Structure 1
Amino acid sequence: MEHLPLFVSTEWLAERLDDSDLRIVDATTYLQPGADGVKVWSGEETYKENHIPSAVYADLLHDFSDPDSDLGFTKPSRERFLEKIENLGIGDDNTYTVIYDQGYAVVGSDVIASDWASRFAWQLLYEGYDHIAILDGGLAKWKEEGRPLSSGIETYPNSEFSGERRSDLFVGKEEVEKAVHDDDVLLVNSLSEQEFNNGHIPSSCNIPFINHSDQESKALHSDEQLKEAFEKAGALDPGKKVITYCGGGIAATWNALLLKKLGHKNVVVYDGSMAEWTSDPNAEIEKK
Structure 2
Amino acid sequence: MVDPNLRLIDASTFLKIPEGEGFPELWSGYEAYKEEHIPGAAYADLLKDFTNPEGKAPFKIATREQFLKAVEPLGITDETYVVIYDRGPLVNVDILASDWSARLRWQLKYEGFDNVAVLDGGFRKWKLDGRPTESGISTYKPAPFPGKRREHLIVSKEEVKAALGDENIVLINSLSEADFRGETTTYPRPGHIPGSKHAFFGSHSDPETRLLYDDATLRATFEKLGALVPNKKVITYCGGGIAATWNALLLNKLGQENVAVYDGSLNEWAADESCPLVTG
1:132 maps onto 2:116 in alignment:
yes
CA–CA distance in structure 1, aligned partners of residues 130 and 192 of structure 2 = 41
Q: TM-score, normalising length from structure 1? A: 0.91
1:1-288 aligned at under 5 Å gives the runs: 18-34=2-18, 35-92=21-78, 94-103=79-88, 105=90, 110-198=94-182, 199-288=191-280
CA root-mean-square deviation: 1.3
CA–CA distance in structure 2, aligned partners of residues 74 and 218 of structure 1 = 29
Q: Residues 137 and 245 (structure 1 numbering): CA distance in 2 closer, same or farther, change over 3 Å?
A: same
Counterpart code for 2:157: K
CA–CA distance in structure 1, aligned partners of residues 165 and 89 of structure 2 = 36
Q: Residues 204 and 233 (structure 1 numbering): CA distance in 2 closer, same or farther, change over 3 Å?
A: same
CA–CA distance in structure 1, aligned partners of residues 88 and 24 of structure 2 = 20
CA offsets, 1:253-276, max 9 Å, x none? 000010000001211100100111
The answer (yes or no) to whether the contact 2:96–2:121 under 8 Å persists in 1 is no
Counterpart code for 1:101: D
Q: Secondary structure at the match of 1:196?
A: helix
CA offsets, 1:183-237, max 9 Å, x none? 1101000011110000000110101111001122211011011011111111111
Q: CA deviation at 1:91?
A: 2.7
CA offsets, 1:84-112, max 9 Å, x none? 100222234x420100001464665x542
Structure 2: gaps (5+ residues): 183-190
Q: TM-score, normalising length from structure 2? A: 0.93
CA–CA distance in structure 1, aligned partners of residues 106 and 98 of structure 2 = 14
Percent identity, aligned pairs only, is 54
The answer (yes or no) to whether the contact 2:97–2:246 under 8 Å persists in 1 is no
Q: Number of aligned pairs?
A: 270
Structure 1: gaps (5+ residues): 1-16
Q: Which has the higher strand share?
A: 1
Q: Secondary structure at the match of 1:243?
A: strand
